[in-house]
Copies of this chain bind each other. A is one copy, B any other.
Amino acid sequence: MRNTIRLLISCRDARGIVAAVTTFVAEQGGNLLDADQHTDLDHGEFFMRVAIERAGFVLTPDTFGPAWQPLAGRFDMQWSIHWGQPVKRVAILVSKQGHCLSDLLWRRRSGELDVEIPIVISNHPDTADIAREAGVPFELRPVMPGTKAGQEREVLALLAAAQVDVVVLARYMQVLSPEFVRHYPHRIINIHHSFLPAFAGGAPYRQAYERGVKMIGATSHYVTEQLDAGPIIAQDAAPTSHRDTIADLIRKGRDLERMVLARAVRLHVEDRILVSQNKTVVFE
């Protein structure tokens, strides 16, 4: 992915966009590795992701904007370009449970997730060892009654100092304030341990147990100001039975959570996600 430039586009649907974009890329010496597009017919919106081989493409971060602007202006595009390097900087926020943290660290180590993880922040000390073993700075920022606003300011300062691109809530059991969320629009990824919109809020496994469902799920989504209601990136589900206690659901759920969160983070850092109308377009 480091040698792949990603261009994300959204605009009103119109004829000729794909031809215009791919012709532009070809004219700039770009080898098209992938081009995906989608039209939301309900809203007349067009979405596109273009992956261009770095070698041969004559434009640079400095020269791309001026060259591209006429075309972007013609279709009134919203767009962003991602040059593959440097890789994205990911902060992980966590509470007591370390399974998602461990999993993400392992995927970075194995090379599967090509990111920097400059910081792990937690409101509990339980996962400090996991971060330390992986060589990642661990910052403890507890939340006490009445200190939440102050704690959030500290966390924001840490994130700013670490220059992170994206914040992953890897079972961070705190609701973020709207102010916090606004600092990272569609750049905070949460894992919720249920098949949303079922069992939003607290204790979803208990809720699932009490309802007697025959499958449990996990949902990764961008955090918005409304709790558990942001654009969904990835979901999965697994069968359960009457034999499963809440502890069994938690155990089975951990595997779902790890897989679904890792998938969402990978999709995000590979610039495969566009957001519109509180929904995601995911180009895989």
Instruction: Write the residues of chain A forming the contact surface with B, with a CB cutoff of 8 angstroms.
Output: 15-16, 18-19, 22-23, 25-26, 31-41, 98-99, 102, 106, 110, 112, 133, 195-199, 211-215, 217, 231-237, 241-243, 245, 251, 254-255, 259, 277-282, 284
Question: Which B residues touch A34, using CB under 8 A?
Answer: 37
Least CB distance from A238 to B in Å reads: 10
With contacts A18-B22, A251-B112 known, is A212 near B232, CB below 8 A?
yes
Least CB distance from A92 to B in Å reads: 16
CA of A204 to CA of B235, assembled, Å = 17
10 A-B pairs with the lowest CB-CB distances in the bound complex, closest first: A212-B279, A198-B198, A19-B22, A19-B23, A214-B235, A16-B26, A242-B281, A18-B22, A19-B26, A237-B237
Question: Which B residues touch A231, using CB under 8 A?
Answer: 212
Are A282 and B241 closer than 8 Å at their CB atoms?
yes
Question: Which B residues touch A213, using CB under 8 A?
Answer: 196-197, 232, 235
Q: Which of A237, A242, A284 counts the most B-chain CB atoms under 10 A from its CB?
A: A242
Pick from B112, B197, B212, B215: contact of A278, CB under 8 Å: B212
Are B242 and A279 closer than 8 Å at their CB atoms?
yes
Least CB distance from A21 to B in Å reads: 8
CA of A215 to CA of B195, assembled, Å = 9
Of the A-B pairs whose beta carbons lie under 8 Å apart in the complex, a sample of 7, sorted by A's number, is A19-B32, A23-B23, A40-B242, A99-B110, A196-B213, A214-B234, A242-B280
Least CB distance from A251 to B in Å reads: 6
Pick from B39, B106, B215: contact of A236, CB under 8 Å: B215
Least CB distance from A27 to B in Å reads: 8
Are A237 and B32 closer than 8 Å at their CB atoms?
no
Nearest-CB residue, chain B, relative to A241: B282
CA of A254 to CA of B107, assembled, Å = 10
Question: Which B residues touch A25, using CB under 8 A?
Answer: 19
Least CB distance from A230 to B in Å reads: 10
Pick from B110, B197, B234: contact of A211, CB under 8 Å: B197
Nearest-CB residue, chain B, relative to A132: B133
Are B232 and A214 closer than 8 Å at their CB atoms?
yes
CA of A194 to CA of B235, assembled, Å = 15
With contacts A242-B279, A242-B281 known, is A33 near B26, CB below 8 A?
no
With contacts A15-B26, A18-B22, A197-B198 known, is A233 near B211, CB below 8 A?
no
Nearest-CB residue, chain B, relative to A14: B31
Are A237 and B217 closer than 8 Å at their CB atoms?
yes
